[in-house]
Amino acid sequence: MQAIGFIVYIVVGLFQLAAIMAGLESWWGLHWIIAAPIAFIVSYIPLVGSIVGMVGAMDVWRWEWWQAGLLFFGGLIFAIACGGMSSFFEWLSFRKRV
């Protein structure tokens, strides 16, 4: 199971990197050789990387806004959902004790 999670993490990361590169190429007209190292740096700047990647996915790949949002914010949505479920189940177990 851990190997599957690692593979999914790498595949999503490569898609995000490709979308950021496409965004840099589209916005600034950079060649891919120049856009690749800049994309590595930009991908580690949280908000900037997500915005450039969403622009790349929507403008260059012609994705809808919600598809690009799932690519870049899917992990955040999953974490919030897991936290909400954890809080709900904790509330249920506390309620049974009282």
- Segments making up each domain of the chain, as ranges: 2-97
What's the pLDDT at 1?
80
d(CA 32, CA 74): 26
Per-residue confidence band for 96, with pLDDT thresholds at 50, 70 and 90? confident
d(CA 84, CA 97): 20
d(CA 4, CA 78): 17
Residues with Cβ within 8 Å of 69's Cβ and at least 6 positions away in sequence, in order, are 54
Residue 6: pLDDT above 90? yes
Contacts 24+ apart (CB under 8 A), 43-48: 43/16, 43/17
For 32-88, what is each residue's pLDDT tens digit? Answer: 999 999 999 999 998 899 989 999 999 999 999 999 999 999 888 988 999 999 988
